[in-house]
Amino acid sequence: MKPENPGPWPPFPPQPDRGQRRYRVSDERLRAFAKLTLYERLKWVEECATFVRLGQQAMARLGGDEAQQA
């Protein structure tokens, strides 16, 4: 008998409320981003969005509904 979905392994750490997440970006990285053309900036944003979607899909496959709520 197959066990009920035990969730991902290794288990993902609990995720804080998305509104509480913080990160820092150095002035150097901001200057580098400012030098990009509009096309390069949009391409960067689209690549980030694709990365996030792939991660969300993988978590959903591994962890079921709980992963989508993170």
Q: What is the pLDDT of residues 33-62, one digit of tens each?
A: 999 999 999 999 999 999 999 998 998 888
Alpha helices (runs of H) in the chain, residue ranges in sequence order: 27-34, 38-63, 65-69
Tokens representing 9 are 């392994």
pTM over 0.85: no
Q: Find out whether the peptide bond into 3 is cis, omega within 30 degrees of 0.
A: no
